[in-house]
Structures are given as structure tokens and as C-alpha cells.
């Protein structure tokens, strides 16, 4: 599933890997203006398995300060919350499958 929004000058994209949907083409807006693109890449499944095992073995628990739902309004609210810089722990988006 790919969800794509334009909000407060930022393009927000959520992509759950393995879904066969096309990614929207943002080449025009990016090249036409001085946009900055930030992204994250997730490593291999083997790396993820090793990480999960390490976290489990050492009982590591992240500090999640606040969570939001996975609908447009709540994701935009989470984005606003992150922009304030007032959070200390993690800010999460809860996806219910």
C-alpha cells in the first residue's frame, strides 16, 4: 500500500514493501523547485532478523512517547507534533492489519 500526501510544503509517502502499486512521479515538482528529499532505507531481511533477535535477547524496549493512527488526519497531526521538536522519545504511527 502506498499513501502519498502533500502537506505544509512536504511530500509524505508511506510504503509497505511487497505491495505492487506504482509510486507517484514527483520528478516535475522536485526539479521545478529547490526541494530537499529525505528518505530512509531498510536493510535486508537477514539484517532485520538479526536486529529482532538482538533486541529480544537483551530485552530492549524503546521509549514511545506518543502514538498516532494511520489515517490522513492523524498522520498529519503526527507530522505537526514532530515539527514542534517537543518529543523526547519515539513518535509512532500505529498500523492495524
For 14-63, the pLDDT digits (tens) are 555 554 556 556 666 666 666 666 666 667 888 888 988 999 999 998 88
For residues 84 and 30, which has the higher predicted lDDT (pLDDT)?
84
Q: What is the C-alpha separation between 96 and 93, in angstroms, rounded?
A: 10
Of residues 30 and 94, the one with the higher pLDDT is: 94
Task: Report pTM.
Answer: 0.42
More confident: 32 or 91:
91
Higher per-residue confidence, 2 vs 65: 65
Amino acid at each position: 500500500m502506498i499513501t502519498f500526501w502533500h502537506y505544509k510544503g512536504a511530500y509524505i509517502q508511506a510504503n509497505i514493501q511487497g505491495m505492487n502499486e506504482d509510486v507517484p512521479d514527483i520528478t516535475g515538482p522536485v526539479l521545478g523547485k529547490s526541494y530537499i528529499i529525505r528518505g530512509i532505507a531498510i536493510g535486508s531481511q537477514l539484517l532485520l532478523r538479526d536486529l529482532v533477535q538482538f533486541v529480544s535477547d537483551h530485552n530492549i524496549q524503546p521509549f514511545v512517547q506518543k502514538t498516532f493512527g494511520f489515517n490522513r488526519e492523524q498522520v498529519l497531526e503526527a507530522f505537526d507534533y514532530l515539527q514542534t521538536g517537543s518529543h523526547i522519545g519515539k513518535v509512532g504511527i500505529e498500523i492495524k492489519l
